[in-house]
Structure 1
Amino acid sequence: MDRETCITNILEVFAENGTVLSSDNEDLSLSDYIDASIQFMTILVQLEEKFDIEFPDEALQIDYFSSLYGLSDIICELKELEKSEE
């Protein structure tokens, strides 16, 4: 999965949760848009469902979701790892 597709899907998950983001080809600080731990967990679960992945325990910290590009890189890595294990 390429980064652009990944970012588009991430932005869709945020929009589904009432937070409309526009990256305009720049990185965003996602922690500025996540106000509560329940919102973080909701987005996390929806990202796992959307991308058919499971975040490892060490990635279950808001620090790993601090930027749009960082999050897309993590998701792309998980998708690549999944592919290589098939």
Structure 2
Amino acid sequence: MQKKEKELNKPEQHFIFGKKNYTYMFIGLAVIALGFILMSGGGSEDPNEFNDAIYNFRRIRLAPTLVLLGFAIEVYAILLNPHKK
């Protein structure tokens, strides 16, 4: 009898984030990872030789923009109310 009373008084456990939050979080992580992948490379195999490919559009503009966009998606995912329809 006591066991049933304890189960009735037990509060329900809920996750803080809903499925929608986690979906946006994974999308944000993928965008951040893509940005870092696009940022890599461009070096020279010979240390005495400079490679200008390190300063191309992909590494200077596109990749950092994707990383910042990914962080913005992460903030949105955290602030998103999962209970609001």
TM-score by length of 2: 0.30
TM-score by length of 1: 0.30
Greater gyration radius: 2
